[in-house]
Structure 1
Amino acid sequence: MNSMAPRPARRMRRLHPRASRRLAAGALLATVASMGAHEAGAQTSRSVLDTGIEFDLPVTDRVTVLQRPHPELAATGVRAGAFLVFPQVDLGANATSNVFGASRDAVADGYAIVAPRLDARSQWSRHQLSAHVRGNFRRFLTYPIKNEDGYDVGVEGRLELAGESTLRAAVNADRIYINQLSGDFPQFSAASVPLDRQVASLQGVYAFNRLQLLGDVNVTRLNFSDTLSLADTVIDQDYLDRTATRLTGRAEYNISPVTSLFVQGVYTRHDYRDATFDFDRSGNELRLVGGAAFDLTPLIRTRLGIGYLSRQYEQAGINSLSGLAFDAQVDYLLSELTTITLTARRDVRDAIVRDAAGYTASRLTAEVDHELLRNLILVGRADLERDDFARIDRQDTLYHVGASALYTLNRSMVLTPSIDYSNRDSSGARVGQRFNELRAGLSLTLRR
């Protein structure tokens, strides 16, 4: 939810090395994210709660294709007093082979995307204040029931303390849409489900020699809107409304410039506001993960965390969910121009299915990024997710493959063609929605 406009190079030297690496790639990563190199809705599902404190590999001189800065192609922004402002608008034309995610008799449709955004960041010598306002509007040609009006507004401040210690506070409000590729999507729904989120967070970093301690307090309020079924009846989603209060703590110890050990604990309290649908889903969640980030070889960079997760419910008779938790990433720098990235994660999510308390989601992602030209990056991606539901006999499998290109014409214009194929399968006595979908699109970014 943070603003992603590029930061000036003179500020990078003052930041924590890990932050510096992220900022160096800010312009490129912002374009990839906003342009939808992997168009939202053409992937497997994502959690409606963010992961809190980000994990990063130790910093070295070796960087991936998407981390390599291209200052000659980055947007310059507009100076406004002590702030640098980055205006941008994304325009997209897209087509889908299965607009409703139907198992049979699929219908196609085309849609346009207009996504304006404005990011501002202070240029002070110390500390930082940033803000963003973004929109994401989709208009379908034949089936307006699928139209979406997304938004995202937020403010973040960072206070630099002694050494590399920092304190960050942020507030954010956005509207996203749960679509048919997500495990949270209600079966046989015609429209996507609007979800309004309000988030307040406070995060602190204390660095002392080789030891770094990180803490995060996050309160997220989720409000789901009702949606319509294919039969034009209302599908109630109010029972999913809840407030999640999350406490995260992590300790990292740097053994060497390329090796660090970490342990992280996340406690989340879920408070549901409506328990009349089938049962009260309120309860507690705990996720403990420990591991290391290291260079397996000079060209293979690895982060591996493994541990335990548990989701307990207050209502009597509802068994808890527990099991293995893992969080891993491998970057293979095949060459300066090609990077292969593998990621894996397993966590617990709350279910929207009647009688199901929740499900465990195990996800594996593979991505290949190739810099064909200085201003042309090719991206290939594959996602596989397995969702195992509790209390009911149902298992969902979702997979996606896609390809896109990021063609930077100049500082002000970026062109992104993309094509994606997605498939959702389901098995068990309470089988869910099954379908496949092909999407293709062409996006143009205009920025300053």
Structure 2
Amino acid sequence: MLLPSARRARRGRSAASLLLATGALLTAGVPAAQAQISQAVLDTGIPFDLPRTDRVTVLQRAHPETDALGVHAGAFLVFPRVDIAANATSNVFGATSEPVSDAYATLAPRLDAVSDWSRHQVQAHVRGNFRRFLDYSIKNENGYDVGVDGRLDIIGDSNLRAAVNADRIYINQLSGDFPRFSAASVPLDRQVSSLRGTYALNRLQLIGDVNVTRLNYGDTRALDGSIIDQDYLDRTATRLTARAEYNISPVTSLFVQGIYTLHDYKAVNVDFDRSGNELRVIGGAAFDLTPLIRTRIGVGYLTRQYDAAAVSNLSGLAFDAQLDYLVTQLTTITLSARRDIRDAIVIGSQGYTASRATAEVDHELLRNLILVARADFEKDDFARIDRNDRLFHIGASALYTLNRSMVLTPSIDYSNRDSSGAQVGQRFNELRAGLSLTLRR
């Protein structure tokens, strides 16, 4: 266990390297598969990271000889970047039969800035994500992400953080939240504001967080051209999170975390009112099974209660786990699993339980070439209606760093979505391939 003075000294010695590592993560990009089978529209609360040690995964390792250096602008280090990609899909609409293919281009400019002060910190970002399809313009997307995050250091490891963020994401056919027979992706505008406080006393750390997220769904179009109304999903989620961590050693800690969320829906006259509250409590530990295997395991209980008496509540097991196996300095295997409750985008169901497992292998073939293979499986059990979805994805990609300013990323992905029950959802297979060029400073 490090003494407070030792921890402060270590932070002072590593400030510069930490700043460069942050810049590297912001600018290098993640060489993961382009296709993702699902995504949660609400984040998972306070992130629980594995304790920092000298042992790092392949993707965490800094490469000072090729990492982007950024541009100094006063007290800030700015990382400009743009991703340009050419992609192709074998099933642009996620059709069960007679699929049609298409090609599309992606342009993703971004600007990230982080302060290089010895105390306190301010981070800001502006990002865009634009997709243009060759034959089917109905699939075009105009995404964005703008945010500011500030940290006020109080004493030792105690601090206050405040953040605001606004973005637009798109829910596509690879997600369990996608409406059946929709042709276009569903645009979702989110506005998030949060305030977080951390109090550290020797081995004990207490964290509290207040988060307000506003979700505004845009309408989409069906395959026959008709409008699919999504306004009934507009809502505000107010979340209160509390967590306590106790550090037994530099590589072992125990934690308990509770998340209470109020869901307030604007529309209540579509089929039923989905407003209500949710409680998720998990406890567990982060520790090293061996010097090469790092683990985080949390298990608990979750329940979702609805204001409408006619809507049955949802409850069950909650878990969140991750294992990093550092096979060698050049190879990392990561396994993760999570189970939670999500709001259903399907009329007739108040929500579904999503259980997801992921396996990823990262291998540094050369100093400037990282290979990634990833597999995901998700099972979605819908409440109130007879429907079960299974989503599977497997993909491979490479991160080839040409120099500090250019990174080339080829990728290929296969996704399969299956659905069963009386109110079956979309079922399809899709193969995607892409080549991305990143230009950065």
**How high is the TM-score relative to the length of structure 1?**
0.94
2:283 is equivalent to residue 290 of structure 1: yes
User: Does structure 1 retain, via aligned residues, the 8 Å contact 2:27–2:81?
Assistant: no
User: Does structure 2 retain, via aligned residues, the 8 Å contact 1:204–1:214?
Assistant: yes
Task: For 2:364 and 2:20, locate their aligned partners in 1 and report how far apart those are by CA, in whole Å.
Answer: 17
2:309 is equivalent to residue 316 of structure 1: yes
Distance 1:161 1:322, change over 3 A: same
> What residue in structure 1 maps to residue 425 of structure 2?
432
Task: For 2:402 and 2:352, locate their aligned partners in 1 and report how far apart those are by CA, in whole Å.
Answer: 44
> What residue in structure 1 maps to residue 112 of structure 2?
119
Match 1:225 to one of 218, 243, 264: 218
Amino acid at match of 2:245: E
**Alpha-carbon shift at residue 23 of structure 1 (Å):** 5.8
**Aligned ranges 1:50-199 → 2 under 5 Å:** 50-199=43-192
2:365 is equivalent to residue 368 of structure 1: no
2:37 is equivalent to residue 44 of structure 1: yes
Deviates more, 1:433-442 or 1:117-126: 117-126
Mark the runs of 5 or more structure 2 residues left unpaired by the alignment: 1-7
User: Does structure 2 retain, via aligned residues, the 8 Å contact 1:111–1:139?
Assistant: yes
Between the two proteins, what is the percent identity of the paired residues? 76
Task: For 2:389 and 2:85, locate their aligned partners in 1 and report how far apart those are by CA, in whole Å.
Answer: 31
Cα displacement string for residues 102-140 of structure 1 (whole angstroms, at most 9, x for unaligned residues): 001000000000000111222222211121111000000
Cα displacement string for residues 303-325 of structure 1 (whole angstroms, at most 9, x for unaligned residues): 11100000110001111000000
Task: For 2:379 and 2:24, locate their aligned partners in 1 and report how far apart those are by CA, in whole Å.
Answer: 31
Amino acid at match of 2:178: F
> What residue in structure 2 maps to residue 29 of structure 1?
25
User: Does structure 2 retain, via aligned residues, the 8 Å contact 1:385–1:398?
Assistant: yes
> What residue in structure 1 maps to residue 4 of structure 2?
none
Task: For 1:205 and 1:123, locate their aligned partners in 2 and report how far apart those are by CA, in whole Å.
Answer: 21
User: Does structure 1 retain, via aligned residues, the 8 Å contact 2:275–2:306?
Assistant: yes
Distance 1:16 1:398, change over 3 A: farther
**Aligned ranges 1:210-249 → 2 under 5 Å:** 210-249=203-242
> What residue in structure 2 maps to residue 358 of structure 1?
351
Task: For 1:135 and 1:36, locate their aligned partners in 2 and report how far apart those are by CA, in whole Å.
Answer: 18
> What residue in structure 1 maps to residue 5 of structure 2?
none
Task: For 1:278 and 1:128, locate their aligned partners in 2 and report how far apart those are by CA, in whole Å.
Answer: 46
Task: For 2:260 and 2:151, locate their aligned partners in 1 and report how far apart those are by CA, in whole Å.
Answer: 24
Task: For 1:116 and 1:428, locate their aligned partners in 2 and report how far apart those are by CA, in whole Å.
Answer: 42
In structure 1, the residue corresponding to 2:155 is in which secondary structure? Answer: coil
User: Does structure 2 retain, via aligned residues, the 8 Å contact 1:25–1:66?
Assistant: no
2:11 is equivalent to residue 14 of structure 1: yes
| Regions of 4+ moved over 4 Å | 19-25
Amino acid at match of 1:37: A
Amino acid at match of 1:14: R
**How high is the TM-score relative to the length of structure 2?**
0.95
Cα displacement string for residues 273-292 of structure 1 (whole angstroms, at most 9, x for unaligned residues): 00111000000000000001
User: Does structure 2 retain, via aligned residues, the 8 Å contact 1:43–1:399?
Assistant: no
Count of residue pairs brought into register by the alignment:
434
User: Does structure 1 retain, via aligned residues, the 8 Å contact 2:31–2:397?
Assistant: no
Deviates more, 1:134-143 or 1:252-261: 252-261
2:361 is equivalent to residue 330 of structure 1: no
**Alpha-carbon shift at residue 59 of structure 1 (Å):** 2.1
In structure 1, the residue corresponding to 2:26 is in which secondary structure? Answer: helix
Task: For 2:16 and 2:378, locate their aligned partners in 1 and report how far apart those are by CA, in whole Å.
Answer: 32
Match 1:349 to one of 342, 352, 363: 342
User: Does structure 2 retain, via aligned residues, the 8 Å contact 1:288–1:308?
Assistant: yes
Task: For 1:369 and 1:205, locate their aligned partners in 2 and report how far apart those are by CA, in whole Å.
Answer: 33
Distance 1:91 1:217, change over 3 A: same
Distance 1:415 1:27, change over 3 A: farther
> What residue in structure 1 maps to residue 411 of structure 2?
418
Cα displacement string for residues 396-415 of structure 1 (whole angstroms, at most 9, x for unaligned residues): 00010000000111111010
**Alpha-carbon shift at residue 26 of structure 1 (Å):** 3.1
**Alpha-carbon shift at residue 25 of structure 1 (Å):** 4.2
Task: For 2:301 and 2:12, locate their aligned partners in 1 and report how far apart those are by CA, in whole Å.
Answer: 33
Task: For 2:355 and 2:295, locate their aligned partners in 1 and report how far apart those are by CA, in whole Å.
Answer: 19
